[in-house]
Chain A
Amino acid sequence: MPEIAISTQKLSRRFGNLTAVDGIDLKVAAGQFFGFLGPNGAGKSTTIKVLTGLLAPTSGSVELLGMDFAAHPIEVKRQIGVVPEGMGLLERLTGSEYLQFVGRMYGLDRATTQRRAAELLDFMQLADRPKTLIADYSHGMQKKLALAAAVIHGPRILFLDEPFEGVDALAAGALKALLGRMTERGTTIFLTSHVLEIVERLCSHVSIIHKGKLVAQGSLEELRTGISRETGSKTTLEEIFLSIVGQDGTERPHLEELSWLM
């Protein structure tokens, strides 16, 4: 039985009358590259926020690396890295200053922080503008910096909310390679993305959330087999996603209404 990195039991989160996350039970094994999918407003970002301590659950529990988050928040946070929705950057610092701030907040010593910050800035191709404030970075540059900040302390679990959004193909390729290497070394990566091709290429296991509930979970092969059995043909992740999420047809746009465009 593999070690479980992320585990939730009947995890729910409500905002007034709206139930954003509705009793989900997640199990992610250590070292997995895990894709968390869902349409807009399905509850992906809320789930990541609850898993990383940015939101408190309304009910249920979260265990990361066998530790209850609510009971040991500081110990758990030491082991995880997060690229949250909106990135959470301190925009009045330069890239280097921000990484050094984050490294020191995670308790790294000064020399290690400086060395890692410089190496990460080099890797992310952000080192050539040492005096530029983050406020003046492009969206893609900010995303890369947020990724650098999430890994500076060598986390055992990495939560990435839309990590490749706005990142150029060159940098995205290098990042994917880096993330692949991290999973080989045992880091668990929990990723949400709207780009299903990326998830299909990177992730070994996938969960799909729809209207706050988990509607599918398993390895890509398991999901493919399930759908292929129904349709009788080899399926892509996009087809799996559409067949699960768009089952009731409410999400499918009605093209005939836009006949004036065609």
Chain B
Amino acid sequence: MANVAGRVGILTQVCLVAGLRWRMLRNGLRKKSNRLDLIGLIFVGIFSAFFVVGLSFAFFAGAYNFLSLGRSGWMTLLFWGIFGFWQLFPMFAAGFGAGFEFRTLLRFPLNLPSFYIISLAYGLADFSALASLCWLVSMTFGAGAAKPRVLPAMLVVVTLFVLLNVTLERLVGSWLERLLSRRRTRELFFVLFILSMVSLNLVEPITRRYGAVLRPLAQRLLPYLSWFPPSLAGKAIASAEQGHFGGVVLASAELLLYAGVFSGFLWVRYARQYRGEELSETAAPSPLAARTVSKVDDAPDPLSALSPQVAAVVRKELRYLTRNSFAFLTLIMPLIVVFLFSSMFSGRHPTTQHPVSPEMLFPGIMAYIVLILMAPAYNCFAFEGRGIQAYFMAPVRFREVFLGKNLLLLSVLAVEMCLALAALAWQLGLPSPPVFVATLSAIVFAVIGQLSLANWSSLNFPRKLEFGHMRGQRQSGMAVLIAFGAQVLFGGVSAAILFGGRLMGNRWFPAEAFTLLAAAGVGGYFSSLDALSRVAEKKKETLIEALCR
């Protein structure tokens, strides 16, 4: 008979989980491709150490000064800072974090209390928790040094504050884990994350325009913050400093109540996981479902002018574009930027106080759109994944694949530029005909010229990207370098031509020069396609290996 495993103590299990986290990190760095990650990690580590140690001094000084100067109520601000960092940082890091789902530990013989305690210990090993602990300890030393009689209250409050924060962070984390386990919500989270980052740009214009209205509203809301844990912690310390024992007990009891409520919710959440919550969204076939009648779409094919293979690639690319939240963002971003720029600069220039003319803004915005939308073309197979094999299994040459991909990109670019032009015309008016024609022909030259380079880069430096994932989602360094070089080259040529036109005093010279270059670019593009088909055949193994990982 086989031996049955004996009981294991919680401490051993906590150590095992800590060891697991360490090994995952270490083994992740053993891959050759992760050497750069290691260098990055060292830099991040140094930066983080400075960040934590520096702020530890700041929290020590803050607590010491507030209590020494009799401004004990301001301690609340320090607690709010720590609370905000502890709760928000893991949320932002969720998409980038280690690929380990905590609930997978449930396959081991753990009872619910052990699972709960290990989870809290796991939460205390997070960067945000460790940093916050350092700052709380510094605050405690600062408070003790300034007013020794506050120390006992500080110890109680900090203990409760740590318990409350780690519980709340695990609670939010477990809900995030549940949300991010589903593809759709993961992608939605990703879009919201990017949008929230972009929205930070709106803070300044909104404050400028609506500041007078928002300020009294914010002041009216401030008193309600006193019911939240950081304010309660600050209130307890202030009471201790003033010798109001009752105030300390009351605020601590309220903190304990918060911790109890969060613990209750977390317990319920873990109990559900413990009972075997199913998070998978994988579809299963239903054999008994009614069979669909085979239908043939009789409507005329809008892509009938293209060969079947090119049309198939265009359709596939369009579907991928509409289902890729990241690509979708790159589509709406230029329009948001046009709106932002034209709103900000239509009245006055930020430095000269003069309005920016469409003569300057139109070429600038068009160049920005090209910059943003051309960047993904340098790694155009990024989202194919294993599907890259479909192109090599099918009886097609890669010129058809590139034609399909490039055609969709050009269509998107054209639509974006029309929308941006309309927005600009609405906000600022149109530029003069020479600038208009010169800009459009410069774009044809720059885009078509870049396409051949971008296609070559896609074949030679492929890097797999995954939909809705943030962790490890970066382009190949070489592809980025080529894209940057190409943008500098085409931008430089364009600037030289514009400068030449101004020097000669001929407003139509740039338009004529760019039209000639655009024609040459189109010829060069079509003649590059066959060569690229041969490169694709040579590079297919690299491509398949890089994308099928």
Q: Contact residues of A with B, CB < 8 Å?
A: 52-56, 73-75, 77-78, 82, 84, 86-93, 97, 100-102, 104-111, 114-115, 118-119, 121-122, 125-130, 132-133, 135-138, 140-141, 149, 170, 260-262
Q: Tell me the residues in window 98-135 of chain B with beta carbons closer than 8 Å to chain A beta carbons.
A: none
Would you call B296 and A115 a contact (CB within 8 A)?
Answer: yes
Would you call A141 and B283 a contact (CB within 8 A)?
Answer: yes
Chain B residues near A130: list those with CB within 8 A: 292
A238 to chain B, nearest CB (A): 27
Q: Tell me the residues in window 277-323 of chain B with beta carbons closer than 8 Å to chain A beta carbons.
A: 281-287, 289-292, 294-297, 301, 308-309, 311-313, 315-316, 319-320, 323
Bound form: Cα–Cα A144–B511 in Å: 56
Would you call B395 and A104 a contact (CB within 8 A)?
Answer: no
Q: Tell me if B396 is interfacial: C-beta within 8 Å of chain A.
A: yes
Bound form: Cα–Cα A121–B301 in Å: 22
B473 to chain A, nearest CB (A): 16
Bound form: Cα–Cα A132–B387 in Å: 17
**Interchain CB contact (< 8 A) of B390 among A88, A107, A136:** A88
Show 30 residue pairs from A and B whose CB-CB distance is below 8 angstroms, ordered by the A residue.
A55-B541, A73-B395, A77-B393, A82-B393, A84-B393, A86-B389, A86-B548, A88-B393, A89-B386, A89-B390, A92-B320, A93-B316, A97-B315, A101-B390, A102-B394, A104-B308, A104-B309, A105-B391, A105-B396, A114-B295, A114-B296, A118-B292, A118-B294, A122-B294, A125-B287, A128-B290, A129-B285, A138-B284, A140-B285, A141-B285
Chain B residues near A260: list those with CB within 8 A: 2-3
Please name the residue on chain B nearest to A132 by beta carbon. B283
B393 to chain A, nearest CB (A): 5
Bound form: Cα–Cα A129–B290 in Å: 11
Residue in A93, A101, A106, A141 whose Cβ sees the most chain B Cβ within 10 Å: A101
Chain B residues near A102: list those with CB within 8 A: 390, 394
Counting from the closest, the 10 A-B pairs by CB-CB distance are A88-B389, A90-B387, A128-B289, A118-B294, A104-B312, A77-B395, A105-B394, A78-B395, A104-B308, A127-B292
Bound form: Cα–Cα A97–B297 in Å: 13
Chain B residues near A100: list those with CB within 8 A: 312, 315
Would you call B296 and A111 a contact (CB within 8 A)?
Answer: yes
Known A104-B308, A136-B183; contact A88-B387, beta-carbon cutoff 8 A: yes
Bound form: Cα–Cα A75–B395 in Å: 7
Bound form: Cα–Cα A75–B36 in Å: 44
Please name the residue on chain B nearest to A125 by beta carbon. B285
Q: Tell me if B540 is interfacial: C-beta within 8 Å of chain A.
A: yes
Would you call B387 and A107 a contact (CB within 8 A)?
Answer: no
Chain B residues near A261: list those with CB within 8 A: 2
A39 to chain B, nearest CB (A): 23
Please name the residue on chain B nearest to A170 by beta carbon. B287
Q: Tell me if B37 is interfacial: C-beta within 8 Å of chain A.
A: no
Chain A residues near B301: list those with CB within 8 A: 110
Please name the residue on chain B nearest to A117 by beta carbon. B294
A-B contact count (CB 8 A): 143
Please name the residue on chain A nearest to B284 by beta carbon. A138
Chain B residues near A77: list those with CB within 8 A: 393-395
Bound form: Cα–Cα A184–B246 in Å: 91
Would you call B285 and A128 a contact (CB within 8 A)?
Answer: yes
Chain B residues near A114: list those with CB within 8 A: 295-297
Q: Contact residues of B with A, CB < 8 Å?
A: 2-3, 183, 281-287, 289-292, 294-297, 301, 308-309, 311-313, 315-316, 319-320, 323-324, 383-397, 467, 537, 540-541, 544, 548
Would you call B294 and A86 a contact (CB within 8 A)?
Answer: no
Would you call B281 and A136 a contact (CB within 8 A)?
Answer: yes
**Interchain CB contact (< 8 A) of A54 among B313, B395, B540:** B540
Known A114-B296, A262-B2; contact A90-B316, beta-carbon cutoff 8 A: yes
A86 to chain B, nearest CB (A): 5
**Interchain CB contact (< 8 A) of B389 among A54, A128, A135:** A54
Would you call A105 and B297 a contact (CB within 8 A)?
Answer: no
Would you call B392 and A54 a contact (CB within 8 A)?
Answer: yes
Bound form: Cα–Cα A111–B395 in Å: 20
Would you call B395 and A87 a contact (CB within 8 A)?
Answer: no
Chain B residues near A140: list those with CB within 8 A: 285
Would you call A105 and B281 a contact (CB within 8 A)?
Answer: no
Residue in B287, B315, B320, B394 whose Cβ sees the most chain A Cβ within 10 Å: B394
A215 to chain B, nearest CB (A): 27
Please name the residue on chain B nearest to A88 by beta carbon. B389
**Interchain CB contact (< 8 A) of A84 among B2, B3, B286, B389:** B389
Would you call A74 and B323 a contact (CB within 8 A)?
Answer: no
A67 to chain B, nearest CB (A): 12
Bound form: Cα–Cα A91–B387 in Å: 7
**Interchain CB contact (< 8 A) of B544 among A54, A91, A108:** A54
Bound form: Cα–Cα A224–B397 in Å: 45
**Interchain CB contact (< 8 A) of A138 among B283, B291, B386:** B283
Chain B residues near A128: list those with CB within 8 A: 285-286, 289-292
Would you call B392 and A105 a contact (CB within 8 A)?
Answer: no
B362 to chain A, nearest CB (A): 35
**Interchain CB contact (< 8 A) of B319 among A54, A93, A115:** A93
Chain A residues near B297: list those with CB within 8 A: 110, 114
Would you call B389 and A92 a contact (CB within 8 A)?
Answer: no
Chain A residues near B311: list those with CB within 8 A: 104
Bound form: Cα–Cα A59–B296 in Å: 46
Known A77-B395, A101-B315; contact A107-B541, beta-carbon cutoff 8 A: no
Please name the residue on chain B nearest to A74 by beta carbon. B395
**Interchain CB contact (< 8 A) of B393 among A53, A56, A104:** A53
B520 to chain A, nearest CB (A): 31
Would you call B541 and A91 a contact (CB within 8 A)?
Answer: no
Chain A residues near B323: list those with CB within 8 A: 92, 133
B353 to chain A, nearest CB (A): 49
Bound form: Cα–Cα A97–B2 in Å: 52
Bound form: Cα–Cα A87–B390 in Å: 9
Bound form: Cα–Cα A77–B540 in Å: 15
Chain B residues near A97: list those with CB within 8 A: 315-316, 319
B527 to chain A, nearest CB (A): 21
Chain A residues near B313: list those with CB within 8 A: 105
Would you call A105 and B312 a contact (CB within 8 A)?
Answer: yes
Would you call B309 and A88 a contact (CB within 8 A)?
Answer: no
A152 to chain B, nearest CB (A): 11
